[in-house]
């Protein structure tokens, strides 16, 4: 089933509306949506390598704008929507202890979460809930998200066809590794929180 989803995604990645989907997923993932934009960015870069850096820009811009929504959720809607999102990820109980330490190292946490599989939405909501200075969130988000998406785009632009062949040949192993990294990101946030 995952192989079919991969092929379907690769097919849709070349579609003329793919950039809109990429923007929407990148925006939503920074504030509430569980699926990272890399799921679409990778196949889009493989389908159209010449557009890889444009796609990285779309991901970065949308992700930073989505971080602002996450911040607003934490700042204005924490008791309703923010807590519900944190509870979905099983992080609500540990949040008070995390919030007490967050602003001391918040910029570093935003940098790490923006670049790694840590769930970025949890960090953007925490930034708003703890009233982190907005400029710190924006700068750290721009640095980390652009580093992540441009690095991915550069690798796919440079090694796209060999990577596509490697994915096709080792699909089960790669999805297992990516899934493990994703789960590991949520586990890491539990320990950070």
What's the pLDDT score for residue 43?
83
Residue carrying the six token digits 């196949």:
43
Note the pLDDT tens digit of each residue in 126-178: 999 999 999 999 999 999 999 999 988 998 888 877 766 666 566 556 556 65
What's the pLDDT score for residue 36?
81
Examine the pLDDT at 105 and tell me if it is beyond 80.
Answer: no
Portion of the chain with pLDDT greater than 90, in percent: 35
Whether the CB-CB separation of 9 and 43 falls below 8 Å is answered with: yes
Examine the pLDDT at 53 and tell me if it is beyond 90.
Answer: yes
Whether the CB-CB separation of 45 and 156 falls below 8 Å is answered with: yes
Examine the pLDDT at 41 and tell me if it is beyond 70.
Answer: yes
Buried b (16+ CB within 10 A) or exposed e, 57-83: ebbbbbbbbbbbbbbbbbbebbeebbb
3-state SS, the chain, equals CHHHHHHHHHHHHCCCCHHHHHHHHHHHHCCCCCCCCHHHHHHHHHHCHHHHHHHHHHHHHHHHHHHHHHHHHHHHCHHHHHHHHHHHCCCCCCHHHHHHHHHHHHHHHHHHHHHCCCCHHHHHHHHHHCCCCHHHHHHHHHHHHHHHHHHHHHHHHHHHHHHHHHHHHCHHHHHHHHHHHHHHHHHHHHHHC
pTM of the model: 0.78
What's the pLDDT score for residue 158?
86
């Amino acid at each position: 089933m995952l192989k079919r989803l991969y092929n379907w995604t690769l097919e849709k990645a070349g579609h003329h509306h793919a950039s809109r989907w990429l923007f929407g997923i990148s925006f939503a993932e920074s504030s509430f949506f569980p699926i990272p934009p890399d799921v679409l960015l990778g196949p889009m870069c493989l389908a159209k390598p010449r557009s890889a850096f444009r796609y990285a820009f779309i991901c970065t811009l949308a992700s930073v704008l989505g971080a602002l929504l996450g911040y607003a959720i934490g700042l204005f809607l924490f008791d309703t929507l923010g807590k519900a999102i944190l509870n979905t990820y099983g992080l609500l109980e540990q949040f008070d202890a995390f919030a007490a330490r967050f602003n001391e190292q918040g910029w570093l946490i935003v940098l790490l979460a923006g670049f790694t599989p840590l769930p970025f939405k949890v960090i953007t909501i925490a930034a708003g809930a703890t009233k982190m200075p907005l400029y710190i969130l924006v700068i750290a988000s721009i640095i980390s998200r652009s580093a992540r998406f441009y690095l991915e785009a550069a690798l796919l632009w440079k090694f796209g066809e060999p990577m596509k062949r490697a994915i096709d040949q080792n699909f089960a192993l790669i999805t297992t590794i990516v899934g493990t990294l994703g789960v590991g990101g949520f586990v890491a946030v539990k320990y950070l929180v």
